[in-house]
Amino acid sequence: MTLNIDNPALLCSQSLINGEWRHAADGRRLAVTNPASGELIAEVPDCTPQDAQAAVDAAQKAFAVFRHGVAKERAALLKRWHGLVMANQEDLARLMSLEQGKPLAESRTEVAYGASYIEWFAEEAKRADGDIIPQQSQNHRLLVIRQPVGVVAAITPWNFPMAMLARKIAPAIAAGCAVVCKPAEDTPLTALAMAKLLQQAGAPAGLINVLTTSRERAGPLADVWLADARVRKISFTGSTAVGKHLARESAGTLKRLSLELGGNAPFIVFDDADIDAAVAGLMVAKFRNAGQTCICPNRVYVQQAVYERFIGKLAEKVGSLTIGPAAGGRAEIGPLINARAVEKVEQHLKDALEQGARLVVGGQRHACPDAPNGHFFTPTVVADVTAAMRMSCEETFGPVVPVTSFATEAEVVEMANATPFGLAAYFYSRDIDRIWEVAEAIEAGMVAVNDGALSTEIAPFGGIKDSGYGREGSRYGLDEYMNIKYIRHGSLARRLPG
């Protein structure tokens, strides 16, 4: 797939620091390749700790001014950005599909989804209300105001290169913060294009800084932000291991943290469920982005009475998915992000089959005639999976559905909760008592009942346990970027009679 976009200015090959497009301090470059073909798309700077420092200097300078602006101006900036993002939806989608691999239709949806957060926080900016607390005597008044936390470091993963960035930058700006941002090594181009549009929308120099780096330099670059006391908040989406590292290393400067980490979502089908609806819901939840989403079901539990029927219907749907590069336009399943991702899927599958799991459909790499060097894997269903298998304990992050049978409600709730993770969970049932009981008993930040889709800008997105803390989107999302300040106004005298 060659890059065919109407607005060539969106293909940026430099990082944005202090309103200037720059090379890395030492000039080193990083190759960005198409996961469907292995072809080189572009080169971007492989930024250094020195660049990270320059970005914080710029952000702090911008913050010193921006923090004094009014909410209406911040809302207007975000609305202009939202307008530009949607006006460039097709180009952004093409750029994203090229570097990330997901089908074009999914990229278009992601751009609209990410933009919905920008629009939402443009509106929320104006609702960062404070409080007046009833005083305990007449000679004082108590007020609460909300203020921006300061410079925010946003670190994002490759699986949703546009939406994860928008979900962080939009609330930060709505709150009055400045941002230093590091996108994933595999998908820097979408982030740079988003920054270009924010600049066009009128963001002042230094308000948004985007630094691209290789995996090798990600740690040293982020270490600068972790150690710098001027960075008051880290908003991270990625693996639990890196999230814990950030939490540990930012303790020295006690930064605020939002950690959107890994998941291991259960998907439960009770015997009273509408089986066709459950299969349809699972297809939506599981196969978006070829199974490379943090909230996609990683463990499917089906009650014994409907177990084989469910597997039969599921296998039929999974077997008919079309696989191919985004360029084809018809593919439902694109390539995995890189060779390591395919190897991980293979290892999980091998481990399960060696321990007695049953392969129902799929199970091997997919050789795509249009893209012989692509990292494709055939959509797969494995039955009779047990808790001891790797695919039950770790995120497989690929198009594989492991299915396990269960007998009772109590048993499946215990199985669902037997994981250190707690991001998303799904279940299908038509029993109203069961619905409430199970929804409340499941240990997860988000639960979908009789639905395969969870994510929306108007609801709080986030996890518990090893899936992290903090919420993105919704009326709760802005709080992550604001400090609460209590102001006590004392020594007041009453002058009016009565």
207 to 226: interface string for ligand NAP, x by CB under 6 A: ------x-x--xx--x----
- Determine the size of the site formed for ligand NAP (CB under 6 A): 27
What stretches of 93-242 adopt beta strand conformation (E)? 131-133, 141-148, 151-155, 178-182, 208-210, 231-237
Among 116, 156, 235, 429, binds ligand NAP (CB under 6 A): 156
Catalytically annotated residue among 260, 332, 395, 472:
260
Q: Which residue has the tokens 């979900």?
A: 167
What tokens were used for 109? 């949806």
In three-state secondary structure terms, 215 is helix
Nearest approach in angstroms of CB 231 to ligand NAP is: 12
Among 10, 12, 96, 155, binds ligand NAP (CB under 6 A): 155
Q: Are 300 and 281 in contact (CB under 8 A)?
A: no
Rule CB under 6 A: which of 250-279 touch ligand NAP? 260-263
Q: Can you tell me the distance from the alpha carbon of 229 to that of 253, in angstroms, rounded to the nearest whole number?
A: 5
Number of residues that this document lists for the chain: 498
CA dihedral 293, 400, 245, 33 (to 10 degrees): -70
Nearest approach in angstroms of CB 67 to ligand NAP is: 26
Residue 380 C-beta-side C-alpha neighbours within 13 Å = 30
Does 444 interact with ligand NAP (rule: CB under 6 A)?
no
Does 15 interact with ligand NAP (rule: CB under 6 A)?
no
- Sequence-separated (6 or more) residues with CB below 8 Å from residue 8: none
- Binding segment toward ligand NAP, per CB under 6 A, in 128-136, 137-145, 231-239, 283-291: 231-239
Rule CB under 6 A: which of 407-436 touch ligand NAP? 423
In the bound state with ligand NAP, the residue whose beta carbon lies nearer, of 209 and 213, is 213
**What is the DSSP code (8-state) at residue 481?**
G
Q: Is 296 a catalytic residue?
A: no
What tokens were used for 431? 């029993």
Which candidate, 270, 78, 85, places its Cα nearest to that of 190?
A: 85
Nearest approach in angstroms of CB 113 to ligand NAP is: 13
In the bound state with ligand NAP, the residue whose beta carbon lies nearer, of 219 and 328, is 219
Name the residue whose CB lies closest to ligand NAP: 238
Q: Is 260 a catalytic residue?
A: yes
Nearest approach in angstroms of CB 156 to ligand NAP is: 6
In the bound state with ligand NAP, the residue whose beta carbon lies nearer, of 154 and 269, is 154
Nearest approach in angstroms of CB 246 to ligand NAP is: 6
At 438, which amino acid appears?
A: V
Among 10, 32, 184, 203, binds ligand NAP (CB under 6 A): 184
What tokens were used for 123? 């509106």
Catalytically annotated residue among 177, 181, 294, 368:
294
Strand partners, 132: 143
Does 51 interact with ligand NAP (rule: CB under 6 A)?
no
Nearest approach in angstroms of CB 18 to ligand NAP is: 21
- Binding segment toward ligand NAP, per CB under 6 A, in 105-113, 151-159, 272-280, 307-315: 151-159
Which candidate, 411, 434, 413, places its Cα nearest to that of 425?
A: 413
Q: Can you tell me the distance from the alpha carbon of 300 to that of 279, in angstroms, rounded to the nearest whole number?
A: 11
CA dihedral 215, 220, 224, 227 (to 10 degrees): 110
What tokens were used for 422? 């707690």
Does 289 interact with ligand NAP (rule: CB under 6 A)?
no
- Sequence-separated (6 or more) residues with CB below 8 Å from residue 161: 96, 99, 100, 183, 184, 187, 190, 191
Rule CB under 6 A: which of 370-399 touch ligand NAP? 395
- Binding segment toward ligand NAP, per CB under 6 A, in 155-163, 271-279, 435-443, 483-491: 155-163
**What is the contact surface with ligand NAP in residues (CB under 6 A)?**
155-160, 182, 184-185, 213, 215, 218-219, 222, 237-239, 242, 245, 260-263, 294, 395, 423, 463
Which residues are part of the catalytic machinery? 260, 294
